Structure 1
Amino acid sequence: MLKPLTLLCLPCAGASGTMYLRWRRLLPSWITVQPIELPGRGSRTDELPQESYLAQIECLGDELVSILPEQYAFFGHSMGALLAYGITHNLSARKLPLPTALVVSGCAAPNRQDSERYSKIQGEAALIAELRKQGGTPEEVFDHSELLTMTLDLLAIDYRLCGSFQHVELSPLPIPIHVFGGRADEIEAAKLNDWRLAGTQAFTLDWFEGGHFFLRQSEEVFLLTLVKRLTESLIGVPHEVPEAPAIA
């Protein structure tokens, strides 16, 4: 029987940690889903959101120091993946217990980040186009002017945070890294495959039908694969060669 695992989940740009709450009833009981809420959203709307990548991971590292579960893993989608990577290195620098695995979704590897692209997405029209292209925003958000304004404001701030990311060569993490990608997402296979450079243990790369929000579009198979990879990280499995995405 597997020991209980806490899955610490970080949200994508423009979103709240509540995006993961439904997983609590969909994942097996040995996995406790614990969303990590960022300043400026959800239960922390009274706090100023952070626009600096380094400041954000330092802040989150400070908050996690005293509450790290005995056994845990990080999951992050898009911006959340980049934050999970940074927090893991932050905890490593503090000589704290590292996660059982780093699970990243819909995010190019740190050495493949194009931080400059975020500065090109400015203004309401460009941000709305970005939301529609990614396909993860409920239609009712676009129909509600106040809610749309809040979403766009937060997205703009998060894009400034992502744009502040600067890749620095760091020692590879001594933990498994599991990567998930969407076959119709614009993130190329090579940019996902380079996550293997961020760790020294098992590496996997799984593909799903759908675009940037394949984790919703292919939710059932995605969650089954997530559980599989977390289980493998707990019991230990050999390095795997990633499957190449199908060509449409």
Structure 2
Amino acid sequence: MIQDKITTTPNTPWLMPFSRGGNGRLNLFFFPHAGGGASAFYQWSHVLPQEITSYAIQLPGRETRLREPLHHELSTVIDLLAGELRPYLENAPFIFWGHSMGALLAFELVRRLQQDGQPWPQRLLVSGYNAPQIPYADPKIHHLPEGDFITALEGLNGTPEAVLQDAELRELVLPIVRADFQLVETYAHEEAEPLPCPITVLDGVADDKTNEADLKEWQQQSTQALELFAFPGDHFFLYDLQPKLISTVLYLLNRQLQDIRITLMNGRTGSPSP
């Protein structure tokens, strides 16, 4: 069962709630990788502090939204996300954590919130994705014929071999992966004011999709000092729940909770406002 205990059941299909009985003092929103769904982050809900309520973004066309049409343009997804998530960003401080494509989605959503005068995150956590202003360097594959597309995916090691070898599974999964790759590969970065929230980068040192220099360029997207933490592992290092990664994430979250406690003691509540 995906949910252990749901404190607040969202009235939107865009959110999958993961909760261990948190008191809503801090909300954490996960944004999954290309081809992934909300369940990719489920295991993280078991290691979070009790004061945190967590949710994962569920894009159309997969898992609980399998019958809905896929989206192929990032701007469309951001437009929809901004509207659907707004009610859930106003009742408590929150953090966004995006991995790979999810990092790009989370970043652009924070931009939209800032532009619209909405509450922004206490922190943006990103992993598996170079700074968004760095041009996409990998060969683009979303437009390839199916055979070539499968070959390209085999080289990326992100889609299980059992899926690629099974005709029925391919029919189910490939359109999702292709649509998500199109979101990323057709993204055109536009210059804008740096974000007011701090950005923390989590890096898998064996990730061949990122490099340290381009990860450090995330600094250009925030007015606050960048933090970068490196861990063993490849592009999907965060799903291994290695002890060093868990302790680092818990350190970051507990530090944020402490800031919130201090704010509450000083008589101030809610997320920072523009």
Per the normalisation by structure 1, the TM-score is 0.86
Give, in angstroms, the shift of residue 119 of structure 1: 4.3
For 1:143-162, list aligned pairs within 5 A: 143-162=165-184
Alignment partner, residue 189 of structure 2: 167
Matched AA of 2:119: P
Larger radius of gyration: 2
Q: Cα 1:185–1:115, aligned 2, differ >3 Å: closer, same or farther?
A: closer
Q: 1:64 to 1:174 in 2, by over 3 A?
A: same
How far off its partner does 1:115 sit?
6.9
CA contact (8 A) 2:216 2:228 kept: yes
- Tell me the equivalent position of 1:197: 220
CA contact (8 A) 2:110 2:120 kept: yes
Task: State whether residues 154 and 161 of structure 2, in contact with CA within 8 Å, keep that contact through their aligned partners in structure 1.
Answer: no
Query: For 2:104, which of 82, 93, 96 is the aligned residue?
Result: 82
The answer for the alignment partner of 2:150 in structure 1 is 128
8 Å Cα contact 1:122-1:156 kept in structure 2: no
Structure 1: runs of 5 or more not aligned: 237-248
**1:66 match: secondary structure:** helix
| Of 154-163 and 142-151, the range deviating more from structure 2 | 142-151
How far off its partner does 1:35 sit?
A: 0.5
**8 Å CA contact 1:209, 1:217 repeated in 2:** no
The answer to whether structure 1 residue 209 and structure 2 residue 232 are counterparts is yes
After superposition, the Cα gap between the structure-2 partners of 1:216 and 1:132, relative to the gap in structure 1 and judged at 3 Å, is: farther
The alignment covers a number of residue pairs equal to 235
RMSD: 2.3
Partner of 1:96: 118
Give ranges in structure 2 of 5+ residues lacking alignment.
1-22, 260-274
Give the superposition deviation at 1:176: 1.0
Q: 121-130 or 40-49: which moved more?
A: 121-130
**For residues 215-234 of structure 1, what are the structure 2 equivalents within 5 Å?**
215-217=238-240, 219-234=242-257
Q: Is the 1:115–1:162 contact (alpha carbons within 8 Å) kept by the matching residues of 2?
A: no
Q: Is the CA contact 1:6–1:31 (under 8 Å) kept in the aligned structure 2?
A: yes
In structure 1, what is the Cα distance between the partners aligned to 2:131 and 2:189?
A: 10
The offset of 1:33, in angstroms, is 1.9
Q: What's the counterpart of residue 243 of structure 1?
A: none
Counterpart secondary structure, 1:185: coil
Question: Identity over aligned residues, as a percent?
Answer: 34
Who is 2:5 aligned against? none
**Other-structure match for 1:245:** none
Q: In structure 2, what is the Cα distance between the partners aligned to 1:149 and 1:221?
A: 38
The 10-residue stretch of structure 1 (127-136 or 180-189) with the greater mean CA deviation from structure 2: 127-136
> Residues 94-148 of structure 1, C-alpha deviation per residue, up to 9 Å, x if partnerless?
1111111000010010111317733477233444344444444445434543223
Once residues 149 and 35 of structure 2 are traced to their aligned partners in structure 1, the CA distance between those partners, rounded to angstroms, is 10
CA distance in 2, matches of 1:136, 1:220: 23
Structure 1 209/111 Cα, relative in aligned 2: closer, same or farther at 3 Å? same
Compared CA separation, residues 66 and 198, structure 1 to 2 (3 A): same
Equivalent-residue separation in structure 2 for 1:191 and 1:206 (angstroms) = 14
2:180 maps to a residue whose letter is D
Return the alpha-carbon distance in structure 2 between the equivalents of residues 143 and 136 of structure 1.
Answer: 14
Cα deviations by residue, 1:198-217 (Å, 9 ceiling, x for unpaired): 10113111111111111124
Which of 141, 154, 179 does residue 163 from structure 2 map onto? 141
The aligned residue for residue 203 of structure 2 is: 181
Q: Do 1:20 and 1:33's aligned partners in 2 also have CA atoms closer than 8 Å? A: no
